[in-house]
Structure 1
Amino acid sequence: MSSGYEEISFGGGDPDREPWLQAWVRAHARALTVCFTVAAVLVAAGAGGRHLYERSREPLPPPDAPFPTQVRIAAHLCGLGAEAWACRERREATEADGRAVEARMRTMPELAEAVLVSKEEDRRRTLAYYTDAGEPEKIELAFLHARVEGTLRRSADFAAVAERLRELPGVNRVLRVPTDFWAGRADFAVHLCGTDDWSRYACPKHRPAGATGSASPVEKRAVLDRIWALPGAETVYLESRDHRIRLLRHYHPERPAGDPLFRFDRSYETFYVRFSGPADLPAAAAALKSLPGVRSVAPVRAEGHPEGHSLAEGRGGDVVGS
C-alpha cells in the first residue's frame, strides 16, 4: 500500500523501474536548461554591473580639447606696503593714475578693450574666491589693489604692450590673466600633494607622521570617494602633472623653458569636479581640504586666481591659471 509519498529511488528496488528524479529531470530538461541559463546570466550581469559601476566612478582624463586663446592682460597698479616700494613713485596709485592708464590702454591699437578695476572691486572678487575655497579669512592677507584689465587682439603682442605699460606712472607690473582651460568644464579643483614647496609645508598637517611626497594611491582613492559623496557630484577628472605643465606653458609663453614653474617636481595632480547644478562650494571645501593627500582646494573661475601677480605666488595660493 502506498504511504502517500512517492519514493525517490537511487537505484535500489525494481531494476526495470526508472528512478523518479531521473525521469523528472528528463521530462523538464528544456525548462531546467533555461533556468540555469537565466541564473548564469543574472550572476554575470550582477558582476558586470558592479564592474561597470566601479569603472563609472573612476576619474576621467582631461577633455581632449584645444587650450583657450590667451589674450587677457592686467596692468597692476601700485598698492600699499611692498607693492608701493616696488614702484618708482613709492606710493599707492590714485584713481587718477588708474584712469590715465585706462585711457592710454584704450588708445593702443593692439588692445580691443580696457577696463579699470577698483581696489574695492578687487576686494569683492577676492573675498568671493576665498569664500568659495572655504577660507574667507585669507582676505586679510591678500594684496588688494586696483588694476586695468585689457584684451589683446593677438596673444603675440603681449610683450610689446607690457613694455610700454610698465613705463606709465602708477603701474607696478603687467601680467597675463590666463583664461582657465577648466572653466566651464569643472566647478571645483582638489589639488593633491606633490613634491613642491607648498606641498612640503601644507600636506604634513593632515598626514600621519613621516608621510611625505606625492599623494599615495590609498590617499587618492579616499579623496575620490569623498568627492563622489558630495551632493550633485557629476563628473570627476584627474589632471596629470604633465598636463598641468603643458597648461602652464600655454598660459605663460613668455617665461623661459627652464623656468621653475615648469619643473616636473614642482607640479602635482588635481581632481577637477563638475556638479550637476549649483553647488555649495564652501561645504565641498570643508569636506575635502583636510583629507590626507590634499594640497589645497579652489573654485574654478575663468579669470583664475584673483591675486594674479607674482606676490601671490608661494603664499598658499596657486599660480594664476593653475
Structure 2
Amino acid sequence: MRRTWVVAALTTALATSGMGAAAADAPADRVLGETSANEAPESASESTSESASESASESRGAEPGDVSAESGTGADGVVAVAVSPLPVPKAAWPTTGRLTVYLCSKAELQKKCEGRGPSDEQKRKIERLLKRLPGLSGVRYVSAEESYRNAREDGVPAKKGSIPASFRADVKVPNVNLGPKLAKLPGIATARVWRTDFWAGKAHAKVELCGPANCSGRGAITDHERDAVFEALRTLPGVKKVYLESRGHAIENWRRVSYASTTPDVGEIFHLVLSDPSVFDRIRPALRGLPGVEQVSRHR
C-alpha cells in the first residue's frame, strides 16, 4: 500500500518565498463465579513510522501529530506537498472489558421473556445486582429509544423497537462466563462480556472501507478511492487526526474484542480524532458519492 498521498503542487516561487506548506436480589458471588486470568498486554502488531512532521503541524498552529504535510522540490521545479494518514498508535492491547445486558422485550422470542419486557422491580433488582458485582463500574441503563437512535446515526438499518433496552458496565477483568450466568436471571434476554476495543479513548469516529468481501457487488477499495476518502476527511473542519488501520490489525482487534477466532469481512478503517462531537454530523455528507466506503460510525 502506498504510504504517501500527493494532494497538491505549489510553484518554486512559493517554496523560496519562505511560506510553509500547510494541510489543512441474588448473591453477587453466585453470579460472578471465578474470574478468568488476565491476558498479558501485547504491543499493536502493525504500525509504521509517522510521515507527518511536527514542524509542519506547528507552522499552522496545530498539535503535534495532527494531519500535517511534508514538502520537497522535484526536478521539474514544482514543490509537491505530500500528506499521509497517521499509522496505528503504538500501544498495548487493552486488558479491560465491557458488559452488555439486554433486557427482555416484546420482540424477544425466548420463552422466558413471555413476549414482554421486565417489570420495574425486575429492572431495579438487575441494576442493584450489577452495582454489587466486584470488578464492574459505570453501570448505566440504555433505553430502547437511545439504542435505536444510536443505530440509525451509525447507518445501521434498524426498526424502532427491534433493539431492546439494556444495562452496560465497564469490566476490570473480562470474564466471558459472566454473560451466560446473568442471562439466567428473570427479565434478562441475553448478556455478553466483550474486551475493550483497541481504539477506545484513541479516536471518536471511524470510516470503514471496502475490503475483499464486505461491500456488496465490488471488491476492496483502490488506492485512488482511498486517496479521495482521505483527502475529504483531512480537509474537513474539525477533524484533528486521521489514522489508517490495516485490515490485518482490524481483524486482530475484532477477534480480541469478540473472543472469536473466525475472520470477519472487514477492510481498512480510517479512525478520526474530532475537535468536538458535532463534527461527526459532517462526516457522512463529506463522503457522499465517494466509492469504497462501507460505513461511518462513532466509537462508543
TM-score range, shorter chain: 0.5 to 0.7
Structure 1 residue 242 corresponds to structure 2 residue 248 = yes
Letter in 2 for 1:247: N
Q: Is the 8 A contact 2:239 2:279 kept in 1?
A: no
What is the rounded CA distance, in whole Å, between the counterparts of 1:45 and 1:245 in structure 2?
Answer: 36
What is the rounded CA distance, in whole Å, between the counterparts of 1:250 and 1:298 in structure 2?
Answer: 20
TM alignment of 1:1-322, pairs within 5 A: 42=16, 46-47=73-74, 50-51=79-80, 53-54=81-82, 57-81=83-107, 83=108, 85-91=109-115, 92-108=117-133, 110-113=134-137, 115=139, 117-119=141-143, 122-124=144-146, 126-127=148-149, 130-131=152-153, 133=154, 135=155, 140-141=159-160, 143-155=162-174, 157-159=175-177, 161-196=178-213, 198-200=214-216, 204=217, 212-253=218-259, 255=260, 257=261, 259=262, 262-263=263-264, 266-277=265-276, 279-301=278-300
Letter in 1 for 2:128: A
C-alpha distance after superposition, 1:219-254 (max 9, x if no partner): 11111111122113332211111101111122122x
Q: Is the 8 A contact 2:147 2:163 kept in 1?
A: no
Normalization by structure 2: what TM-score?
A: 0.66
> Where does residue 4 of structure 1 map in the other structure?
none
What is the rounded CA distance, in whole Å, between the counterparts of 1:125 and 1:221 in structure 2?
Answer: 33
Unaligned runs of 5+ in 2: 1-12, 18-70
C-alpha distance after superposition, 1:39-67 (max 9, x if no partner): 9x95996449944x31xx21122111112
Deviation at 1:292, TM superposition (A): 0.7
Pick the structure with more strand per residue. Answer: 2
What is the rounded CA distance, in whole Å, between the counterparts of 1:74 and 1:278 in structure 2?
Answer: 24
What is the rounded CA distance, in whole Å, between the counterparts of 2:224 and 2:148 in structure 1?
Answer: 34
Normalization by structure 1: what TM-score?
A: 0.62
Which has more radius of gyration? Answer: 1
Unaligned runs of 5+ in 1: 1-38, 205-211, 302-322
C-alpha distance after superposition, 1:85-109 (max 9, x if no partner): 125232222222222222333444x
What is the rounded CA distance, in whole Å, between the counterparts of 2:280 and 2:91 in structure 1?
Answer: 26
Letter in 1 for 2:186: P
Larger relative contact order (C-alpha < 8 A, sep ≥ 6)?
1
Deviation at 1:281, TM superposition (A): 1.6
